[in-house]
Amino acid sequence: MSFSAQVKEELCRVNPGHKGCYQALCYGVLLYCNTFSGREIKIMTENRSFAQTLPRLFKRAFALNFDEVPADMDRPGKLIFRITDPEKTEQIFQTYGYSAKTPVHHINLGVLENECCRRSFMRGAFLAGGSVTDPARQYHLELVTDHYNVRGETYALLQELGFSPKQTDRSGNYITYFKQSDAISDFLTAIGAAVSAMEVISARIEKDMRNSVNRKVNCDTANVTKTVEAAMEQTEAIRKLEQAGLLEGLPEKLRQTAQMRMDNPEMSLSELASALDPPVTKSCLNHRLRKLMALAESL
């Protein structure tokens, strides 16, 4: 099961509460479904949980049944629900404040005065026209409708609920979307999918931890590489001085440093400084090694 299907299954278990929330939820479904006109209402879905829940939602919201329902809810592919009876479509349109004879596809905000109804509307919109990617791969949640005005009013509703979505168009559809993990988890919580929201949060934490570990490993690798390269340069300079017969004539501290570096090419400067007898600071050791390299370069 995809993560999007999992979210919808969780949402179908949410009880809208009072009749107004049922009607608000169905309002979201209708404005984000396939066809919502005076002649026909068609809702098409591949999600079995949503398909099984739809008849109950419409019965509670409007006290009516679909004129056409899938014969087999368990068969693969798309499941189609239709209402074609003019009296039923007129009743549904009147519930939201306009007539089936001259339908206007926009959100009647008077139907969604309460915040619980607005959240129910968003839940219905997601069930009918929403999708969300697996947070383990990427963060993207979108609501897709055929109606330009609906997209703009959904955007305004989301802003009133404290969200900052983005908008785009794709193949004649109007899309409201989120690409931030925090916004997606907050939206899922708001519409009733708290368990799925926790999965988004967990995926983000896991990614952050993995990225932190990778950064540390990369940093450590870079430091090791830098240490090895510096040690190779220093060792090569000391060998050059030795071949030129100049090493024995150097001051004792420089000879001691050169011998310690030759014997311990894998050590960092801090380790090498501590290993000297007596120990010296890292700065002091670095000063001696620079002297040795400068002498080698002068040859």
d(CA 78, CA 136): 27
pLDDT band at 294 (very low <50, low <70, confident <90, very high): confident
10, amino acid identity: E
- For residues 161 and 67, the answer to whether their CB atoms sit within 8 Å is no
pLDDT in tens, 67-117: 999 888 777 789 999 999 999 999 999 999 888 777 678 899 888 989 999
Say whether pLDDT at 145 is over 80.
Answer: yes
pLDDT in tens, 283-293: 888 888 888 88
d(CA 88, CA 175): 29
- For residues 234 and 267, the answer to whether their CB atoms sit within 8 Å is no
Say whether pLDDT at 247 is over 80.
Answer: no
Instruction: Verify cis geometry, omega within 30 degrees of 0, for the bond prior to 165.
Output: no
Q: Beta strand pairing status for 130-132 and 141-145?
A: antiparallel
pLDDT band at 156 (very low <50, low <70, confident <90, very high): very high
Greatest Cα pair distance in the chain = 110
For residue 56, the surrounding DSSP H or E stretch is helix 48-62
Task: Give the range among 3-7, 28-32, 82-86, 268-272 with minimum mean pLDDT.
Answer: 268-272
Say whether pLDDT at 228 is over 80.
Answer: no
- C-alpha distances (whole Å) from 24 to each of 28, 43, 144, 150, 293 are 6, 16, 18, 14, 79
Contacts of 12 (CB under 8 A, 6+ apart): 49, 50, 52, 53, 127
The DSSP secondary-structure symbol of 171 reads T
d(CA 253, CA 276): 10
Say whether pLDDT at 211 is over 80.
Answer: no
Task: Give the range among 15-29, 111-125, 132-146, 199-213 with minimum mean pLDDT.
Answer: 199-213
The residue to which tokens 């949410």 are assigned = 14
pLDDT band at 277 (very low <50, low <70, confident <90, very high): confident
Q: Tell me the pLDDT of the chain averaged across its residues.
A: 89
Task: Tell me what pLDDT residue 165 has.
Answer: 95
pLDDT in tens, 176-205: 999 999 999 999 999 999 999 999 999 888
pTM over 0.75: no
- For residues 124 and 24, the answer to whether their CB atoms sit within 8 Å is yes
